[in-house]
Structure 1
Amino acid sequence: MSIRHGAITRRAVTAVLAAAALSLSTACGGGDSGSDDKKSSNSASTDPGKPQESGDGGGSTVPDKGKTLATINGSNGFRITVYGAARDEGGFLTVSGAVENTTSKRQFTPLQWSGQESQVKRTGPSLAGMTLVDKADKKRYYVLRDTDGFPLTTTGMSSLDSGKSVDFFAQFPAPPNETTTLDLQIPLMPTATIEIS
């Protein structure tokens, strides 16, 4: 009698568990798969001329273009406009601006902009080679790296179509509070002096 009672109990428990699993899978997997496909295709649409950012974890950074700190025209057809150099509370200095292709054809960004370190080369084209120089204190500041060695700057800047531009940012250690101006150096581009806000 007890064996038969145990078998009936096991069947009842199995049936309850199967029903619970079925209702859970329906609840979690429910929804119209067509609408999910539409959402993902709409959110993934991008401008083919605009570089994609990857590895910096910060997403797009749109600078405040109300004030121009410097305009750098390179012989390679790129124009770099710096709109901001702001101190953050965490002891960082964030430089933001835009890179524009001023030529009549698609241009590939110089490899030298990415820097020479093997770790930053893994991120692809970027502005990791950018530096700031404090002439008064005779110090050079490099773009910060995260714990994996990735630069804290815009990445994925492989090329730009004619007349197109892309916003950028780069984070550096903040210089002392008494420092108000720095020289911005980007490989293959003229040096520009910027004012810290």
Structure 2
Amino acid sequence: MSIPHVRKLRRAATAAVLAVGLTLSMAACGGDSAKGEKEASSSASSKPADDSGNGGGETIPDTSKVLVTVKGDSGVDMVINSAQRDTGGFLTINGQLKNTGSGIFTTPIQWSGEEQAVAGTGRSLAAMTLVDSQAKKRYYVLRDTDNRPLTTSGFDPSIEPGKALTFFAQFPAPELSTNQVDLQFPGFAVATIEIS
């Protein structure tokens, strides 16, 4: 084989390798971008309300109405502001955990529940449960497809004196004939609430 012929083959092979590499790079960049946008959109739509009260774009619950207040450990009160059935067959509880004491309250790890899969998602209120005494059923906080609890999560590990952690928790809705449920949460007495 002559030297000019070898040079032509090398140039053609180099051009082919560069073309394939460039195509793969463009596809990878475009794929990551589309994937990133999809993940950002997905995480934004499934992100629970944060503890600052603005809910990250979610509707701010009406805190002027109080269904029940339950005293808890170390000067923390749990105030339930609403318990509302949603059209999709869910029951959403909105409330506040208020530090009425004079010291900083450290949120207990028990609030996140004992399930290992849920514990991996960080701080949450997944230990909250509802009991329908009439139907003799217990309801747990719902989970999304990634096993994250549908409740306020990722909040600070402490609540300053005079401050509150605004929260929500979503459960399967009890039967329509049930208009009263008992809310159970570690560190608090049972709170009986009316469903609206």
Does the C-alpha gap of structure 1 residues 64 and 166 become closer, same or farther in structure 2, counting only changes over 3 Å?
same
The secondary structure found in structure 2 opposite 1:76 is helix
Deviation, structure 1 residue 180: 0.1
Equivalent residue number for residue 64 of structure 2: 66
The answer to whether the Cα contact below 8 Å between 1:153 and 1:168 also exists between their aligned partners in 2 is yes
Deviation, structure 1 residue 163: 1.0
Equivalent residue number for residue 172 of structure 2: 173
The answer to whether the Cα contact below 8 Å between 2:48 and 2:153 also exists between their aligned partners in 1 is no
Query: Going by fraction, where is helix more abundant, 1 or 2?
Result: 2
5+ long unaligned stretches in structure 2: 1-43, 50-54
Deviation, structure 1 residue 104: 1.2
- Out of 86-95 and 150-159, give the one that drifted further: 150-159
Equivalent residue number for residue 137 of structure 1: 135
Equivalent residue number for residue 159 of structure 2: 160
Alpha-carbon deviations, 1:170-190, whole Å to 9, x = none?
000000101000000001210
Equivalent residue number for residue 14 of structure 1: none
The secondary structure found in structure 2 opposite 1:120 is helix
Letter in 2 for 1:96: N
Equivalent residue number for residue 38 of structure 2: none
Does the C-alpha gap of structure 1 residues 56 and 81 become closer, same or farther in structure 2, counting only changes over 3 Å?
farther
Q: What RMSD, in angstroms, separates the aligned Cα atoms of the two structures?
A: 1.7
Alignment of 1:1-197 (within 5 A): 57-59=47-49, 60=55, 62-157=60-155, 158-197=157-196
Deviation, structure 1 residue 75: 2.5
Give the percent of matched residue pairs that are identical in Structure 1 and Structure 2: 52
The answer to whether the Cα contact below 8 Å between 1:55 and 1:150 also exists between their aligned partners in 2 is no
- Out of 142-151 and 120-129, give the one that drifted further: 120-129
The answer to whether the Cα contact below 8 Å between 1:56 and 1:150 also exists between their aligned partners in 2 is no
